[in-house]
Amino acid sequence: MALLSRIAVAAVAVAFVYYILGALVSYRRLRQFRGPPLAGVSRLWLFWKECTGSLPQAQLAALEKFGRYTRPRLAIRVIISTNL
């Protein structure tokens, strides 16, 4: 039983490190694009705006505040733009 709990703790630790490293790599890749601070390191900004139903308005506000290109969700390497 102790071995199983050690394996579970190790798996959780590996998943956490994987998530943190992925966020840092994504942040470095798109750091030249400004955007909401929380969107730069986590998906929480997008999740919160989607849950409250204000995502479209928040994306437009981010475009107005941060310029022509902005990153609403850095974790999956997405950039929104006013260019069509």
Cβ contact 45:36 at 8 Å: yes
54 three-class SS: coil
The pLDDT value recorded for residue 84 is 58
For 29, 40, 66, 73, the CA distances from 24, given in Å and listed in that order, are: 9, 9, 21, 13
For residue 42, the enclosing domain spans 2-81
pTM of the model: 0.55
| d(C-alpha 80, C-alpha 4), whole Å | 44
Model confidence over 30-72: pLDDT tens digits?
777 777 777 777 778 888 888 999 988 888 888 888 877 776 5
What's the number of domains the chain is made of?
1
Q: Which residues contact 42 (CB under 8 A, 6 or more apart)?
A: 23, 75
Q: How far is CA 81 from the centre of its chain?
A: 17
Model confidence over 46-55: pLDDT tens digits?
888 889 999 8
